[in-house]
Structure 1
Amino acid sequence: MTTLGGSDIELHPLVLGGNTFGWTSDEATSHRIIDAYLDGGGTLIDTADGYSAWAPGNSGGESERTIGSWLRASGRRDSVAIATKVSRHPEFPGLGGANVKAAAEASLRRLGTDRIDLYYAHFDDPDTPLEETVAAFAALVKEGKVRYVGVSNYSPERLREWLETAERLGADLPVALQPHYSLVHRETYEPELRDIVLRTGMGALPYYALGGGFLTGKYRTRADLEGRARGTTVERYFSDAGLALVDVLAEIADAHSAEIPTIALAWLLTRPGIAAALASASRPEQLPSLLAAADVTLADDETAALTRASDAVTAG
């Protein structure tokens, strides 16, 4: 267990993604997933105000409402940190100052809590001056509605601008960066974002840590994708190099008497600047293999073999 960046948020090596809540997991199942995560030692649940507006019949905020109903039913608010994001809810697009404030208050209502532990700018908004956005986040921290600030999906240039702006305004610096990063996708984080994280002491909490499900080993043929909610996401990784990477994962998993996703996450945790890996589950029984990554120590040759296999995928 460690702490995130310069915050006091206790961090288990696995952050639980809430994107499945209200989408591929109904409320009762979602509650069981959260219970199992906390019972397994987990400390941080990650969601966004826009989850899951993309699903038929949804309008955004479903994940936050599901987490909120769990908080009310469980009474365990002080046992978990909650991260959510702003800029992609259909009613609250962008990062204008007034919108950030209104979106945060809407998230607080859906979650049924008085504070957001970690509040991310979900996607960059080039149409809004960074001074306005950074000041809006700082105001939320000052009001006690947000404890810490995070940034997601920002380019290295814009992240540097955010940091410079925050320092100039005397605003709270981000403690977390959430980039797209995994064995099958390294170009977003490496090398520039990684170097910023290492220089500033932020913690990187990458999403798509399992390649949208490809690195679970469940998808070994295209027939395995049929009828799957994540089929389109996973299909992009189907190649000789991608399947060879899964074979290496399987071999190392066998050597550790572990499961394939456990090893994929364990590799991620060896990478510079990575504070924890973010992964979601649609069913409680998927959680043990995710949480187990915290207890696996890869040998140097195993880490190197995975990195070489990853190089072959990401070079293509």
Structure 2
Amino acid sequence: MPALASTGLDVHPLCLGGNVFGWTADEDASFAVLDRYVAAGGTFVDTADVYSSWVPDHPGGESEAVLGRWLAARGGREDLVIATKVGMHFKADLANLRPESILRACDASLERLGVETIDLYYQHRDDEDVPLQESLGAFDELVRAGKIKHVGLSNFSAARLREAVAVTQEHGYAPISVLQPQYNLLDRAGFEGELQDVCVEHGIAVVPFYGLAMGFLTGKYTRESEAADMGTPRAKGAIKTYGGQERSWATLDALRAVAAEHGTSVSAVALAWLRARDAVVAPIASARTVEQLEELLPMAELQLRDEDLAALDAASAG
């Protein structure tokens, strides 16, 4: 299993996204997915306090609570690396990175998860209204208190990531170990280049979200899907975001060709491409059902050839 950079934590090459737990996957379905993931050797689960506060009557924390109940029912806490996030909640008093908000949110996450320590705690997005010295200072306080083990950032620009690294070094705070950016075959420009270079320079592990581009890169859509009513919110969003670009369909064609060569799923190829990128340790992907998870799991063993990578790079570069 790959090591999560400076943390020393060994994680499965697939980080299981928990955004669907308690939302599009009810508790029984979520438990089934988690059971299968762990049975397949999975060790790395990602969630956030905001999941799923965008749903009417959901106060937020539903995903953490489902994961917590699963942990209580199944045990095995020591075998899992649990990551969660703060700062993007739909509630105004938690949608920031003020120290008091961070400390309160962390305690709430610990309670929902039913754990004493969070392995990896992210600032879910940059909050330029709060000085990095304050927000990272609060994270350092949590590390010293034993409430979190390692610090991550998500949705940060290259310039702000550099600044954050400098702040931790200047003040002796817990280092930034992981970056979680949006990155996949169809969303490349925001990460490749300076942001990726900062991660390589400072030994920061990359755990990309939207690894399958909201499900578009699973291969279940065709050009005829563009105008169709896809049913689920994520499916509609995927078609709306990516379906109007010829590059998207060319990338899917290339993925299908590589998948056929290897006798595997389109999803596995898309995630294996990510895993082959510099600094990327484990892409995040979620599954509502065990059947969907089965499409993802082969990525852990899949080794793409140079010609496969070149074909995917060419198609996705447009």
Q: Could you say which TM-score interval applies, normalised by the shorter chain? A: over 0.9
In the alignment, residue 302 of structure 2 is paired with which amino acid? V
In the alignment, residue 10 of structure 1 is paired with which amino acid? D
Deviation at 1:273, TM superposition (A): 1.0
Tell me if 1:11 matches 2:7.
no
Gaps of 5+ in 1: none
Identical aligned residues as a percent: 43
Counterpart-to-counterpart distance in 1, 2:238 and 2:152: 25
In structure 1, the partner of 2:232 is 228
Query: Following superposition, which runs of at least 4 residues in structure 1 exceed 2 angstroms of deviation?
Result: 223-226
Which SS does the other structure have where 1:274 is aligned? coil
Which SS does the other structure have where 2:242 is aligned? coil
Question: What do residues 227-278 of structure 1 show as CA deviations (whole Å, max 9, x unaligned)?
Answer: 1221123322112221121111111111111011011111111111111111
Between 85-94 and 158-167, the greater mean CA deviation after superposition = 85-94
Deviation at 1:297, TM superposition (A): 1.1
Counterpart-to-counterpart distance in 2, 1:306 and 1:47: 29
Query: 1:213, 1:234 within 8 Å by CA — same for their partners in 2?
Result: no
Match among 183, 187, 191 for residue 185 of structure 2: 183
Report 1:133-172 matches (<5 A).
133-172=135-174
Deviation at 1:225, TM superposition (A): 4.7
Deviation at 1:223, TM superposition (A): 4.7
Match among 188, 199, 202 for residue 200 of structure 1: 202
Match among 111, 114, 122 for residue 112 of structure 1: 114
Counterpart-to-counterpart distance in 2, 1:212 and 1:26: 19
In structure 2, the partner of 1:41 is 41
In the alignment, residue 112 of structure 1 is paired with which amino acid? G
Gaps of 5+ in 2: none
In the alignment, residue 78 of structure 2 is paired with which amino acid? D
Query: 2:11, 2:81 within 8 Å by CA — same for their partners in 1?
Result: no
Counterpart-to-counterpart distance in 1, 2:202 and 2:297: 28
Tell me if 1:52 matches 2:52.
yes
Deviation at 1:224, TM superposition (A): 5.0
Counterpart-to-counterpart distance in 1, 2:273 and 2:8: 25
Counterpart-to-counterpart distance in 2, 1:234 and 1:76: 38
Report the TM-score, using the length of structure 1 for normalisation: 0.96
Task: Work out the number of aligned pairs and report it.
Answer: 312
Which SS does the other structure have where 1:118 is aligned? strand
Which SS does the other structure have where 1:279 is aligned? strand
Question: What do residues 155-198 of structure 1 show as CA deviations (whole Å, max 9, x unaligned)?
Answer: 11111111000001100111100000000000111111100111
Question: What do residues 53-93 of structure 1 show as CA deviations (whole Å, max 9, x unaligned)?
Answer: 11232121000000010011111211211100000222412
Q: Alpha carbon RMSD of aligned pairs, Å?
A: 1.1
Which SS does the other structure have where 1:3 is aligned? coil
Which SS does the other structure have where 2:7 is aligned? coil
Report 1:260-275 matches (<5 A).
260-275=266-281
Match among 209, 212, 215 for residue 214 of structure 2: 212
In structure 1, the partner of 2:282 is 276
Report 1:223-302 matches (<5 A).
223-230=227-234, 231-238=236-243, 239-302=245-308
Counterpart-to-counterpart distance in 2, 1:269 and 1:248: 17
In the alignment, residue 283 of structure 1 is paired with which amino acid? T
Query: 1:4, 1:203 within 8 Å by CA — same for their partners in 2?
Result: yes
In the alignment, residue 231 of structure 2 is paired with which amino acid? G
Counterpart-to-counterpart distance in 2, 1:245 and 1:161: 35
Report the TM-score, using the length of structure 2 for normalisation: 0.96
